[in-house]
Amino acid sequence: MYLRSLFGRLLDGKVLYRQKEMQLLLPELYEVSIHHADVCWEFFSEKLLELKGVDGIPTFDNLRTVQLMVRVFPASDFRHPILTPVSLLLDLWSDRVSSKLTSGIL
């Protein structure tokens, strides 16, 4: 489907979108995502499972994926099926980075 390929294009590490470009794309992307919530959920739940397997410090592509998840899904739900695990994942990653910084590895 078109929406899956659009998400894939936004997360492609070969193409870096600037903040201005993302600000133009995101309102339209959000509007389309509302009408195709099942496609969004399926795409990002697969990405979330991939992110779960990240060992060590996340890459730039991992952080871009999380950033897009946060921008596409509303954070108004107390327990969101995508954003709640993402927030736990960010806590885990920040703890890893913090421990490496304090131990002098980075």
What does the alpha-carbon distance between residue 24 and residue 28 come to, in Å, rounded to a whole number?
8
Among the residues of the chain, which ranges form H helices? 2-11, 19-35, 37-52, 60-72, 83-103
Residues 43-78: pLDDT tens digits?
Answer: 999 999 999 999 888 998 899 899 889 888 877 777
Residues 5-53: pLDDT tens digits?
Answer: 888 888 887 666 677 777 788 888 888 888 998 999 999 999 999 999 9
